[in-house]
Amino acid sequence: MKFLVCISQTPDTTARVAFTPDGKAYDSNGVTFIMNPYDEWYALVRACELREALGGTVVALHVGPAANETTLRKALAIGADEAVRIDAEATSSAFTARQIAEYARTEAFDILFLGKETIDYNGAEVGAMVAEHLDLPYIALASKLDLEGNTAVVERDIEGGVEVVEVNLPFVVSAAKGMAEQRIPNMRGIMMARTKPLKVVPAVPVEEHVRVVKFTLPPPKAGVKLVNPEDMDELVRLLHEEAKVL
Amino acid sequence: MVLVYAESPRGQLKKAAFEAVTFGKKLAEQLGQPCAAVVLGTTQSDPGELGRYGVSRVLHVADERFDILDSQAATQALAEVARQVGATTIVMSHTSTGKTLAGRLAVRLNAGLVSGVSGVASVESDGTLVVRKSVFSGKAMAEYAIVSPVKVLSLMGNAIRLEVSGQPVSAEVLTVSAPAPRIRVRAVRTVEGRVPLPEAEIVVSAGRGMKDPSNWGIVEELAEALGATTACSRPVADSHWRPHHEHVGQTGIAIRPNLYIAIGISGAIQHLAGVNNSKVIVVINKDPEAPFFKAADYGVVGDLFEVVPRLTEAIRKFKAAQ
Ligand SMILES: Cc1cc2nc3c(=O)[nH]c(=O)nc-3n(C[C@H](O)[C@H](O)[C@H](O)COP(=O)(O)OP(=O)(O)OC[C@H]3O[C@@H](n4cnc5c(N)ncnc54)[C@H](O)[C@@H]3O)c2cc1C
């Protein structure tokens, strides 16, 4: 079996959010980047578990500049066998999806994994785009994935529950919480990652349809109004008369 | 023409679809274009009811092949309907259905896509559409310009108010070609009787301060009294005190209810990320230094085991008097 795991990089969850003075780009000054949690905790780990059970190869793919190779090395330390970096800034989901699809065409992958969304731009767009470029079935928000021969049984999160679906290989899937448990890379994994192959591939040009106009920070909250814990009738009154939410 | 895909998962037209139609109709007015809604698959209620949300044409592909969500078949159908009616802007909901389809449809139509939109900022004279969305898990807002002739948007849940501005219409039945579905549904498991979290207007959420899963009765009772949906912090879901679909935050579900009540939750930055778009936040915590109070509108410093039952009583009294 051959598994592709698409890895993106996002600011650390505690990083301060700030933008360049023109408001057109994220200000990454002094920010630590991490592997997008959905890609790392669920997609990558599940692909590694399936490879361990069934044999095969896990390829971790990232669209980004050379500075991001530490994220790919981490994916190798967690358990990917090979890494591929498409050498370009991932400027939009359309751009990223096209690069992933162009690479995926060159090898016959059985399952293409992505995280359900990135925690910075929160698009949840790339997986469906990749699937369309490759004319493959797509299951979004999968919280469980098992293989029965050539068929995958997948639970996908729907509003207020899950739907259990079947699909034949190959297909594209986006991973949500539940698909696997986070793995912390061990010393042996980190050592081995140094010698695993990391291939760099040039990007293909893509016409952009969407432009950033500006980013803004939300206005600060007015401040909390404290209510006496003995007097919950007062809280109800405030929620009804002042906040108008009851 | 603006075409709204009004989703009907498991045959049900619900709030997400009504919001998309309300939004699509307003957008069409801003663009000076007509608006139509399309429904795929058989439905339990009459799709013509969508007329109430201001749309004068409802197209119904009443074909049971679309009763399950297969992204390839649905994309083919939507692309064909868009072509038949000459639609250049397609609106859908940013739900599990929309997240499965929007990217696919955008590639198919060579369209620019912005997902999880919360509103329209402006329509430029050259046809460029500028939309708003929340980014960095609610820590910032972005404006994006879609410059391509064909555009796809998905609308964030609870981002706009439903507006009844018309009458039911009679739906026009359409047929479209579609590939045989490649996805089969084995089973559906839903939590009955509660509004799903992303759609909920009131959310009662609890964290590690609850001490033990057996203590959740008081949270359930408060939710019951308010007609609210329950949620939880990540460690609560991680230790299987509550189902994982209740986990809100940066790595859980992002929500924007009218009222979010946080009980025994410290308010870590990753938790706030998923809830700080809520209109009103109430925090109940015994620690006056809990960071959540900085993000709250109303705060109660006290022991949740005393405060929550008292609040439930007060709500019941208030509801009975209404
Ligand atoms: C990469 C990453 C992603 C994350 N994503 C998320 C996410 O999506 N969602 C999320 O929630 N967290 C997330 N976290 C975890 C987050 O950092 C916090 O650890 C978590 O939110 C804390 O949960 P809590 O508030 O329930 O527990 P605690 O932080 O333990 O807070 C419990 C609170 O209960 C109060 N309390 C205790 N007893 C009582 C009582 N009797 N009466 C009243 N109050 C009481 C305490 O004062 C305390 O404030 C993430 C962390 C990381 C590193």
pLDDT in tens, B181-217: 999 999 999 877 778 898 899 999 999 999 999 999 9
Mean pLDDT of chain B: 96
The domain segmentation of chain B, as residue ranges, is 2-173, 197-320
The one-character DSSP state at B228 is: P
Q: Find the length of chain B.
A: 322
- Determine the Cα–Cα distance for residues A198 and A185; give it in Å rounded to an integer: 18
Residue in B closest to A165 by C-alpha: B185
**Structure tokens, A240:** 């009804």
Give me the residue from B133, B259, B293 closest to A245, CB to CB: B259
Are residues B251 and A177, on separate chains, in Cβ contact within 8 Å?
yes
Interface test with B, best of A155, A163, A181 (most B CBs within 10 A): A163
Rounded to whole angstroms, the Cα distance separating B98 from B135 reads 18
B297 interfaces chain A, CB cutoff of 8 Å: yes
Could you tell me the distance, in angstroms and rounded to a whole number, from the CA of residue B213 to the centre of ligand 1?
15
Nearest to B190 among A143, A161, A230 (CB): A161
Phi and psi, residue B165, nearest 5°: -135, 15
Q: Give the least confident one: A197-201, B70-74, B162-166, B229-233.
A: B162-166
Residue of B nearest to A182 (CA): B238
B209 CA distance to ligand 1 centroid (A)? 8
Test A141 with B96 for CB contact under 8 angstroms. Answer: yes
Q: What is the pLDDT, as a whole number, of residue B194?
A: 78
Beta bridge partners of A172: A112, A138
Domains B2-173 and B197-320 share a fold: yes
A2-218: CATH class: alpha beta
pLDDT digits (tens, 9 = 90+) for A79-92: 999 999 999 999 99
Q: What are phi and psi of B231, to 5 degrees?
A: -140, 180
Q: Is B305 touching ligand 1 by the criterion CB < 6 Å?
A: yes
Q: Which of B291, B253, B290, B298 is nearest to B275 (CA)?
A: B253
The per-residue pLDDT for range A50-105, each reduced to its tens digit, is 999 999 999 999 999 999 999 999 999 999 999 999 999 999 999 999 999 999 99
CATH code 3.40.50.1220 for B197-320:
yes
Would you list the domain boundaries of chain A? 2-218
Q: State the pLDDT at residue B87.
A: 98
Give every CB contact of residue A21 below 8 A, 6+ residues apart in sequence: none
For the sheet with B151-155, list strands across it.
Answer: A210-216, B140-146, B129-135, B112-123, B151-155, B89-93, B2-5, B35-40, B57-61, B172-173
A151-158 and A161-168 beta bridge pairing: antiparallel
The listed CATH number (2.40.50.140, 3.40.50.620, 3.40.50.300, 1.20.1070.10) that belongs to domain B2-173: 3.40.50.620
Nearest atom of ligand 1 to the alpha carbon of B211:
38
Spatial distance between the Cα atoms of B16 and B70, rounded to a whole number of angstroms: 19
Closest residue in B to A133 (Cα) is B107
- For the CA atoms of B18, B22, B25, B31, the dihedral, rounded to the nearest 10 degrees, stands at -130
Give the CA angle between residues A228, B220, A38 to the nearest 5°: 100
Residue type, A119: I
Q: Which atom of ligand 1 is nearest to the CA of A13?
A: 1
Taking phi over 0 as left and psi of -120 to 50 as alpha, with beta for the rest, B258 belongs to alpha
pLDDT digits (tens, 9 = 90+) for B104-137: 999 999 999 999 999 999 999 998 999 999 998 8
Provide the pLDDT for residue B91.
98
CB spacing of B313 vs A232 below 8 angstroms: yes
Distance of CA B250 from the midpoint of ligand 1 (Å): 12
